[in-house]
């Protein structure tokens, strides 16, 4: 009994958090409810608590985590300074004891068969990354079947064959690997820390893993639940300019990967230009506009306006962009007012 209790876990479920105690409790309960494991402590739960710049750790969450850690399957750590999303993910990977690590959000839930199913697939194929599909929930924690099916199609998992994903890069450029339901070999992950200037660092992270030789396996079952709500980490917007800068630097050697990279960046770069201009970084905006991946559509007024902004002095560019955004928002509001009731 003692030997089993102190054996290294196979999987660390690392849950980054900061203040959403009610949701965190759901996430921890789901992680502890894994079934069909060889031993009860095969899975550990690591709660990694980020802190606020002015006030430090959330007191209620801190108290609950300290009490919860009396369960030998739960560990809790508090950041020494504010880390942000990607920094907290790095803290999880650094402290994980498991052979594999998975990082769901504190607002997500793993289903009971998650760990056993994906660990079995990892063992069967000797994989470095094993990932599954997932359900989508609304803010109340209820499954949304239509949104689930749409996400499966949107991120290419509807057409991705089960089993080894080779070559992986074309599928990664289509953003097929969801962070919340991906087991990553911990030693491999530590070699490639997340870039902390990104608020959606997983796509770039998985691409670097693949280019370093990591093997990927897909299990098409839906083994986790992803929550959509306004308090999500990216609700205020994707840091598309930072992500685009990172992704442009990554090679895409195979024709299929190059095609997928082109498609992804054509959708990302217009917004990345806009965000770069909003921050006053005209050099980066011009770099995006001159990229071979930027969509060349001279008939689009917005594309012309972005190029014009990039040529203006910094303060003028920011002012014009604000006017453009206000006009865009007004048009959206007008369309909403004119739409008939359904």
- DSSP collapsed to 3 states, the chain: CHHHHHCCCCEEEEEEECCCHHHHHHHHHHHHCCCCCCCHHHEEEEEEECCECCCECCHHHHHHHHHHCCCCCEEEEECCCCCHHHHHHHHHHHHCCCCEEECCCCCCEECCCHHHHHHHHHHHHCCCEEEEEEEEECCCCCECHHHHHHHHHHCCCCCCCCEEECCCHHHHCCCCCCHHHEEEEHHHHHCCCCCCCCCCCHHHHHHHHHHCCCCEEEEEEEEEEEECCCCCCCCCCCCHHHHHHHHHCCCCCCHHHHHHHHHHHHHHHHHHHHHHHHCCCHHHHHHHHHCCCCCCCCCCHHHHHHHHHHHCCHHHHHHHHHHHHHHHHHHHHHHHHHCCCC
What CA–CA distance (Å, rounded) separates 158 from 214? 23
Mean pLDDT of the chain: 88
pLDDT confidence of residue 238: 84
Q: What percent of the chain has pLDDT over 90?
A: 77
Question: For 36-41, what is the mean pLDDT?
Answer: 88
pLDDT confidence of residue 313: 61
Residue that wins the pLDDT comparison between 301 and 117: 117
Q: Where are the domains of the chain?
A: 2-227, 243-338
Does residue 13 register a pLDDT over 80? yes
Does residue 41 register a pLDDT over 90? no
- Domain 2-227: which CATH number of 3.40.50.300, 3.20.20.140, 3.90.1300.10, 3.90.550.10: 3.90.550.10
What CA–CA distance (Å, rounded) separates 281 from 284? 6
Q: What percent of the chain has pLDDT over 70?
A: 83
Does residue 331 register a pLDDT over 90? no
């Amino acid at each position: 009994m003692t030997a089993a209790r102190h054996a290294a876990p196979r999987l660390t479920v690392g849950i980054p958090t900061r203040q959403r105690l009610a949701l965190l409790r759901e996430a921890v309960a789901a992680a502890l409810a894994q079934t069909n494991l060889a031993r009860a402590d095969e899975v550990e739960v690591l709660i990694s608590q980020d802190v606020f710049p002015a006030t430090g750790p959330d007191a209620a969450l801190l108290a609950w985590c300290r009490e919860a850690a009396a369960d030998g399957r739960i560990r809790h750590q508090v950041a020494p300074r504010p880390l942000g999303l990607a920094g907290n993910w790095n803290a999880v990977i650094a402290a994980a004891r498991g052979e594999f690590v998975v990082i769901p959000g504190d607002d997500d839930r793993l289903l009971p068969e998650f760990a056993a199913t994906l660990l079995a697939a990892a063992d069967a194929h000797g994989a470095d990354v094993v990932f599954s599909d997932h359900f989508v929930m609304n803010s109340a924690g209820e499954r949304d079947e239509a949104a689930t099916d749409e996400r499966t199609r949107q991120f290419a998992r509807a057409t991705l064959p089960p089993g080894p994903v080779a070559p992986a890069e074309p599928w990664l450029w289509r953003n097929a690997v969801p962070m919340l339901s991906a087991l990553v070999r911990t030693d491999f992950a530590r070699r490639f820390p997340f870039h902390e200037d990104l608020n959606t660092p997983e796509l770039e992270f998985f691409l670097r893993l693949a280019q370093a030789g990591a093997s990927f396996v897909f299990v098409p079952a839906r083994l986790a639940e992803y929550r959509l709500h306004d308090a999500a980490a990216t609700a205020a917007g994707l840091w598309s300019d930072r992500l685009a800068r990172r992704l442009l630097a990554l090679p895409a050697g195979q024709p299929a990967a190059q095609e997928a990279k082109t498609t992804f960046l054509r959708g990302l770069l217009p917004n990345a230009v806009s965000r770069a201009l909003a921050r006053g970084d005209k050099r980066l905006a011009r770099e995006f506009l001159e990229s071979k991946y930027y969509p060349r559509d001279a008939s689009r007024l917005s594309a012309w306006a972005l190029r014009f902004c990039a040529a203006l002095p910094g303060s003028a560019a920011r002012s014009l962009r604000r006017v453009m955004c206000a006009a865009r928002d007004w048009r959206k509001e007008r369309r909403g007012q004119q739409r008939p009731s359904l």
